[in-house]
């Protein structure tokens, strides 16, 4: 087997959170004075942290992106996620299979805040497979598209990045995996909430899957 570890993004790869999170963000940005559609919000913010887009937000709303606004966003986001979040189709079984096959050498490397990642994985039953191996871009010197979170995950597993397979669904995430020196598989079941196959390939993904259930077979055949 070519790969010794698999590093998973979280949002849009393991959990179907992007439509929920972006729905809350879109609503709050409209309330702040920026009239944009859900599709525009998804296009501009998918795969990115809200704070990384502070300059854009402040330019359109005419207001500073304050800690209080972010706290309100997190609270509304978390409430919606707790009520509505589901796993990506096929993700739980794929993770279970890969975890067993690689003797636990998997990690979740997300650009999101740790509370959100841990809450989501617990909610869909994936937390036991990633115990002690959850990495947040918020805790790194730089978040995606910088490679820091993937480099940290690979180092913690004791596996060279070149021997890691990264699973990503956004251009920003693919760029991070490529910059880390890993091989990246793009997950693109739909253009809504995920990067298109063309965009993911353009960012450096070497293979595209539309069904997470295909991952174990892909790993075996590589």
The residues annotated with a catalytic role in the active site are 9, 11
What stretches of the chain show up as alpha helix (H) in DSSP?
18-31, 38-45, 54-61, 67-84, 91-101, 114-123, 148-157, 171-180, 197-203, 215-221
Q: What is the C-alpha to C-alpha distance for residues 125 and 121, in angstroms, rounded to an integer?
A: 6
Cβ neighbours for 211, distance < 8 A, ≥ 6 positions apart: 89, 90, 189
Place of tokens 């991070």: 176
Half-sphere exposure (Cβ direction) of 11: Cα atoms closer than 13 Å: 30
Q: What is the C-alpha to C-alpha distance for residues 46 and 17, in angstroms, rounded to an integer?
A: 11
Q: What is the C-alpha to C-alpha distance for residues 185 and 209, in angstroms, rounded to an integer?
A: 7
DSSP output for 133-170: -EEEGGGSSS-TTSSHHHHHHHHHHT--GGGEEEEE-S
CA distances to 23, 65, 118, 144, 164 from 109, rounded to whole Å, are: 23, 26, 11, 10, 12
Place of tokens 């995950």: 153
């Amino acid at each position: 087997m070519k790969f010794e570890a698999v590093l998973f993004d979280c949002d849009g790869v393991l959990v179907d959170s992007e439509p929920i999170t972006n729905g809350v963000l879109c609503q709050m940005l409209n309330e702040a004075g920026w009239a944009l559609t859900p599709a525009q919000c998804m296009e501009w913010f998918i795969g990115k942290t809200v704070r990384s887009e502070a300059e854009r937000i402040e330019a359109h709303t005419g207001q500073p992106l304050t800690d209080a606004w972010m706290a309100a966003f997190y609270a509304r986001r978390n409430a919606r996620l707790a009520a509505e979040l589901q796993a990506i189709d096929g993700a739980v079984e794929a993770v279970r299979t890969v975890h067993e096959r690689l003797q636990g050498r998997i990690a979740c490397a997300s650009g999101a805040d740790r509370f959100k990642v841990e809450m989501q994985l617990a909610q869909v039953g994936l937390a036991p497979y990633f115990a002690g191996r959850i990495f947040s871009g918020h805790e790194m010197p730089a978040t995606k598209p910088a490679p820091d979170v993937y480099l940290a995950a690979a180092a913690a597993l004791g596996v060279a990045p070149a021997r890691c397979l990264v699973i990503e669904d956004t251009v920003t995430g693919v760029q991070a995996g490529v910059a880390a020196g890993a091989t990246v598989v793009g997950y693109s079941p739909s253009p809504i909430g995920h990067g298109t196959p063309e965009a993911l390939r353009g960012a450096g993904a070497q293979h595209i899957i539309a069904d997470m259930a295909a991952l174990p077979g892909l790993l075996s055949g590589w």
